[in-house]
C-alpha cells in the first residue's frame, strides 16, 4: 500500500509488486484488488499513524533543514475529505453537507513542516466540527522552537490564549472587519503595534474545557505587511521581540504557508483508499491513506 502509485491501477500495482517479490520474469496475478480491499479493512489505523510519526521524527532528527530566524515553520490548514457511503462512515462523520448521507464527508486539519514537506500530524473529525477544534488535538506535535502559520479562518482570542498556554508561537493572518485593533493599525502610518487584553470570561471557559490554564493578560503583536498581490494585510503573532523578529521579515514567513495548499493539491491526485478501525461503542475511526480533496 505504501508503494502504490496513483498513476497506476490498484490491480497493476499488485501484479507488479508480487511479480517482483516472487522473482518472476513475467507478470503474474497472485492477489486481486478485491482481496486487498477486504484485507485492508482489518488493518488498525494506529499502525499508519505510528509509521508516519516514526518517519517524521527520524527525518527531523537530522536538523538539516532551513529555519526562519531559528524557528521551524509549520503551516496548518483544513480541508474536507469525501468518504465512502458506508453506514460506518456516516455514523462516525455525519451525514455530510447535504444532510441526507448522499455525500459523506469528514473535516480534516493538518500540520505541515514547510522545509521538509512532511505532515507532522493530521486530524480527522466530523464534517460539522471546526478546524480550530481539530487544531487543538494536534498541538502535541509542535515544539517550542516552532512557529505555527495560519490563515484568516483561525483567529480568535481563545485560540491565541490556548497557543500561549501551550507555549506555541504563531503567525496568523487576521481580518479588520471583526478586529478593531487591526482596522486601527491599517488606518495608521505605523507598521506594527502590540495589543494587550484581559482574558474574558468566555476565553477562560473555553480554555478550562480544554484543560488549559488561562493567563490574565493576553499579548499579541500586530504587523502590517504588503502581500505580493499589493494588498495590505495584518498578521498577528506571539513573537513580541522586535529586534529578533523584525516586522519586515513576516511577509516572507506568511508566504511559506502556501506550501500546505500545494501539499493538499498533490494529495488530491492520489488514488483514495480507506482504512477503518473499529473501536466498539465509541464508533469507527477512518484513516485515509490516499486523499481525495473537495
pTM: 0.80
Cα angle at 211 between 210 and 214, to 5 degrees?
Answer: 90
**Pairing, β 72-83 against β 104-113:** antiparallel
Model pLDDT for residues 67-109, shown as the tens digit of each residue: 999 999 999 999 998 898 888 889 999 998 888 888 999 999 9
**Is the Cβ–Cβ distance between 112 and 73 less than 8 Å?**
no
| Distance (Å, whole) CA 268 – CA 89 | 20
Identify the band that residue 279 occupies on the pLDDT scale cut at 50, 70 and 90.
very low
What is the overall mean pLDDT for the chain?
86
pLDDT of residue 280: 41
Selected residue with higher pLDDT from 3 and 95: 95
SS3 144: coil
SS3 266: helix
pLDDT of residue 271: 42
Weakest-pLDDT range from 25-29, 242-246, 254-258, 281-285: 281-285
Sheet containing 232-237: which strands, arranged edge to edge?
118-126, 104-113, 72-83, 146-150, 169-174, 232-237, 217-226, 192-198
Evaluate if residue 193 carries a pLDDT over 70: yes
CB-count exposure of residue 186 (10 Å: 0-12, 13-18, 19+): middle
% of the chain at pLDDT higher than 90? 53
**How many Å from the N-terminal Cα to the C-terminal Cα in the chain?**
23
Evaluate if residue 274 carries a pLDDT over 80: no
Backbone dihedral angles phi then psi of residue 103, each to the nearest 5 degrees: -130, 110
Selected residue with higher pLDDT from 7 and 229: 229
Model pLDDT for residues 28-81, shown as the tens digit of each residue: 899 999 998 888 888 887 888 888 888 888 888 877 889 999 999 999 999 998
Tell me the CA distances in angstroms from 111 to 29, 105, 131, one per residue in order. 39, 20, 12
SS3 148: strand
Beta bridge partners of 93: none
pLDDT of residue 227: 81
Model pLDDT for residues 118-129, shown as the tens digit of each residue: 899 989 899 999
Amino acid at each position: 500500500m505504501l508503494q502504490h502509485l496513483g498513476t497506476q491501477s490498484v490491480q497493476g500495482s499488485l501484479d507488479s509488486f508480487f511479480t517482483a517479490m516472487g522473482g518472476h520474469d513475467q507478470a503474474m496475478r497472485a492477489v486481486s484488488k478485491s482481496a486487498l480491499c477486504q484485507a485492508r479493512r482489518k488493518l488498525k489505523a494506529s499502525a499508519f499513524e505510528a509509521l508516519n510519526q516514526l518517519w517524521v521524527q527520524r527525518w527531523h532528527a537530522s536538523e538539516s533543514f532551513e529555519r526562519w530566524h531559528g524557528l521551524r515553520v509549520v503551516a496548518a490548514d483544513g480541508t474536507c475529505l469525501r468518504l465512502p457511503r458506508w453506514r460506518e462512515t456516516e455514523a462516525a462523520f455525519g451525514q455530510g453537507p447535504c444532510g441526507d448521507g448522499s455525500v459523506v464527508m469528514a473535516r480534516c486539519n493538518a500540520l505541515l513542516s514547510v522545509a521538509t514537506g512532511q505532515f507532522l500530524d493530521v486530524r480527522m473529525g466530523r464534517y460539522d466540527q471546526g478546524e480550530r477544534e481539530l487544531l487543538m488535538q494536534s498541538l502535541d506535535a509542535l515544539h517550542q522552537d516552532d512557529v505555527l502559520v495560519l490563515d484568516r479562518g483561525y483567529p480568535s482570542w481563545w485560540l491565541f490564549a490556548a497557543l500561549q498556554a501551550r507555549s506555541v508561537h504563531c503567525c496568523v493572518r487576521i481580518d479588520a472587519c471583526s478586529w478593531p485593533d487591526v482596522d486601527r493599525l491599517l488606518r495608521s502610518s505605523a507598521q506594527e503595534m502590540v495589543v494587550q487584553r484581559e482574558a474574558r470570561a468566555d476565553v477562560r471557559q473555553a480554555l478550562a474545557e480544554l484543560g488549559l490554564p488561562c493567563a490574565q493578560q493576553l499579548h499579541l503583536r500586530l504587523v502590517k505587511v504588503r502581500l505580493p498581490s499589493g494588498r495590505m494585510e495584518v498578521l498577528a503573532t506571539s513573537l513580541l521581540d522586535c529586534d529578533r523578529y523584525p516586522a519586515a521579515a513576516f511577509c516572507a514567513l506568511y508566504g511559506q504557508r502556501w506550501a500546505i495548499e500545494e501539499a493538499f493539491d498533490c494529495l488530491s491526485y492520489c488514488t483514495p483508499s480507506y482504512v477503518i478501525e473499529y473501536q466498539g461503542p465509541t464508533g469507527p475511526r477512518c484513516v485515509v491513506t490516499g486523499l481525495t480533496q473537495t
